[in-house]
């Protein structure tokens, strides 16, 4: 898909949102897009479906765009959803309610286009909407990026002269500031409890901070300037997360928001910030959107599905409803820019020259860029203990790749179901155990070392050393039991026209769709090819995983494995 002009971006927005137009409830307040379950009531899921397209619609309206009957739908929906007498009332929120998440898009719409979503409402509808939004000031919220939802809601309420709590808003902002760890990076909550750094920094904490610097710059100039400076720092490093082919690094939770990966750069363009030259930021946005447009992420009716590279529930979180993927619409913030903005005429420039190896210490990741275009990130498995699900797969792999993706386990009772790509998997009594988190780790300029326990009585120190067309893994294993371990490479497409796989001696290799991975044990071991169960890999529904099988004795043993990968 061509993406250069404002009209090109508008056409993509229309392609994504037009299929929804006929699916809203009679009063417009609910949008049900599927029947899969989620950890909150169905009505809340319908409200989520209603809210999330606003992340794109409000900027689009702000820039002068119009699309079907969406304006009328949203005015009716806002009135009906906040009227306790209406059968489509969204309900009275309670502590930690998902409804607070969805309030943020409404708050931004009120700030950006009050003439569309606020001023045309009746006096009673305005009172109902303001009362409902203000409930966010009277309930407990998780102390993470959710605090920014309350910030945005209070800014919106204050902008229309309705009751709000600005003192609480400033306390929330102070708390967010306490999570700052340097170089533009935050943690999504207190660093002790939530140490991992993932996409919640660019598409949440940084995104909202940049929005705040625009929407509240006059009332809070010092804080706005702080957010802008941090965005400039962050934006220079975040470029490492993108492949020259447009793919962003698949890493961490909430990957079902897909093209929200480049939303931070949209926010920078909207705010007039240039952590990278404008054409370079445009290139990141354009290529990422184009990469996603080549993937089967829509159903036959044109509705976004739950998944990553294709419809796939196995990788989802418990808070992913059928409407959740539309969180990615935040990337369309650039549509707030008028036709005359230089963004629309700028070329989509390539990424700048980036070093082949870069230790991103504020994010605890070691990045490797290979000549054939692969971007690999070596991760320490530093994560919170209160997991959202499948944290082992989303944070604990040794390496994350923009070309191979990663696999999400279906169970730990069979190696093929576990699909433990890019992991050292121990098989004990028929069960598979892998790295869930590291007790200690060291990120050096040229390697990453972590200490972890896959099973009581087994301790592993893993040294990951990028070199050549891949990396060396050196595992020092202390075990009180004899068992088996599989050192696994990347998952490779299985049923491609060029697919092949084989094992010979201490080597296993696989090739498919122009991708290849070879794994070799340098001190013994036996090469094997694991037929992963369908729908485990984020990129491809069918894959094989080359691996080396090791016998682990009682005592201490050192395993050295070479992993090489290539793409055509």
For the entire predicted model, the pTM comes to 0.97
Evaluate if residue 193 carries a pLDDT over 90. Answer: no
- Assign 434 a pLDDT band (cuts: 50, 70, 90): very high
- Assign 386 a pLDDT band (cuts: 50, 70, 90): low
Q: What is the mean pLDDT of residues 230-258?
A: 97
Evaluate if residue 388 carries a pLDDT over 80. Answer: no
pLDDT digits (tens, 9 = 90+) for 129-182: 999 999 999 999 999 999 999 999 999 999 999 999 999 999 999 999 999 999
pLDDT digits (tens, 9 = 90+) for 77-106: 999 999 999 999 999 999 999 999 999 999
Mean pLDDT computed over every residue of the chain: 97
| Other CB atoms within 10 Å distance of the CB of residue 125 | 18
Structural domains in the chain?
6-345 (1.50.10.20), 364-567 (2.70.98.70)
| pLDDT, position 192 | 83
Evaluate if residue 385 carries a pLDDT over 80. Answer: no
| pLDDT, position 389 | 79
Q: What percent of the chain has pLDDT over 90?
A: 96
Q: CA angle at residue 308 from 304 to 314, to 5 degrees?
A: 105
| pLDDT, position 523 | 82
374: left (phi over 0), alpha (psi -120 to 50) or beta: beta
Q: What is the mean pLDDT of residues 543-550?
A: 98
Q: What is the mean pLDDT of residues 232-259?
A: 97
Q: In terms of pLDDT, which residue wins out, 492 or 385?
A: 492
Evaluate if residue 12 carries a pLDDT over 90. Answer: yes
What's the burial of 348, exposed, middle or buried (CB within 10 Å: 0-12/13-18/19+)? middle
Q: What is the mean pLDDT of residues 200-209?
A: 98
Separation between Cα atoms, residue 460 and residue 525, nearest integer Å: 17
**Residues contacting 200, CB < 8 A, separation 6+:** 144, 145, 188, 252, 253, 254
| pLDDT, position 453 | 97
> Which pair of structure tokens corresponds to residue 192?
């002790």
């Amino acid at each position: 898909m061509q993406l250069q002009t404002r009209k090109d971006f508008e056409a993509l927005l229309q392609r994504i949102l037009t299929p929804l137009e006929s699916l809203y409830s009679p009063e417009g307040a609910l949008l049900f897009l599927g029947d899969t379950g989620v950890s909150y009531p169905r009505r809340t899921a319908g409200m989520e479906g209603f809210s999330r397209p606003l992340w794109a619609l409000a900027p689009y309206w702000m820039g002068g765009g119009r699309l079907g009957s969406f304006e009328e739908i949203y005015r009716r929906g806002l009135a009906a959803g906040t009227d306790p007498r209406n059968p489509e009332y969204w309900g009275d929120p309670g502590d930690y309610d998902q409804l607070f998440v969805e309030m943020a898009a409404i708050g931004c719409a009120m700030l950006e286009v009050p003439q569309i979503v606020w001023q045309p409402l009746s006096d009673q509808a305005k009172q109902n909407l303001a009362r409902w939004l203000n409930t966010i000031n009277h309930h407990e919220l998780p102390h993470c990026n959710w605090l920014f939802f309350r910030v945005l809601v209070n800014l919106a309420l204050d902008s229309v002269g309705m009751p709000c709590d600005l003192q609480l808003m400033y306390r929330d902002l102070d708390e967010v500031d306490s999570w700052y760890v340097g170089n533009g990076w935050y943690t999504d909550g207190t660093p002790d409890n939530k140490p991992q750094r993932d996409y919640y920094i660019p598409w949440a904490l940084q995104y909202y901070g940049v929005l705040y610097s625009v929407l509240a710059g006059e009332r809070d100039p010092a804080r706005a300037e702080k957010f802008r400076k941090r965005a400039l720092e962050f934006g220079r490093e975040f470029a490492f997360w993108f492949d020259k082919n447009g793919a962003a690094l698949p890493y961490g939770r909430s990957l079902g928001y897909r093209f929200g990966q480049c939303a931070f750069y949209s926010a920078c363009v909207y705010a007039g910030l240039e952590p990278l030259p404008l054409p370079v930021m445009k290139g990141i946005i354009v290529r990422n959107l184009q990469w996603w447009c080549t993937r089967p992420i829509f159903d036959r009716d044109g509705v976004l599905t739950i998944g990553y590279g294709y419809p796939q529930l196995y990788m989802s979180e418990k808070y992913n409803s059928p409407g959740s993927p539309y969180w990615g619409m935040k990337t369309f913030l650039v549509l707030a820019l008028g036709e005359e903005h230089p963004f629309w005429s700028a070329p989509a420039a390539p990424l700048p020259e980036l070093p082949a190896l870069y230790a991103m210490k504020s994010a605890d990741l070691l990045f490797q860029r290979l000549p054939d275009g692969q971007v690999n990130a070596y991760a320490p498995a530093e994560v919170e203990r209160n997991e959202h699900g499948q944290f082992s797969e989303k944070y604990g792999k040794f390496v994350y790749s923009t070309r191979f993706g990663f696999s999400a386990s279906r169970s730990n009772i069979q190696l093929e179901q576990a699909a433990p790509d890019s992991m050292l998997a121990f098989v004990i009594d028929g069960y598979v155990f892998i790295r869930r988190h590291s007790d200690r780790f060291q990120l050096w300029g040229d390697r990453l070392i972590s200490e972890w326990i896959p099973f009581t009585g087994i301790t592993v120190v893993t040294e990951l050393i990028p070199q050549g067309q891949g990396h060396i893994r050196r595992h020092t294993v202390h075990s009180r039991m004899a068992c088996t371990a599989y050192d696994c490479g990347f998952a490779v497409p299985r049923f491609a026209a060029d697919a092949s796989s084989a094992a010979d001696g201490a080597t296993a290799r696989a090739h498919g769709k122009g991708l290849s991975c070879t794994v070799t044990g340098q001190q013994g071991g036996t090469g094997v090819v694991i037929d992963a169960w369908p729908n485990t890999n984020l990129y491809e529904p069918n894959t094989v995983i080359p691996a080396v099988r090791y016998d682990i004795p009682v005592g201490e043993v050192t395993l050295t494995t070479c992993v090489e990968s290539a793409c055509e």
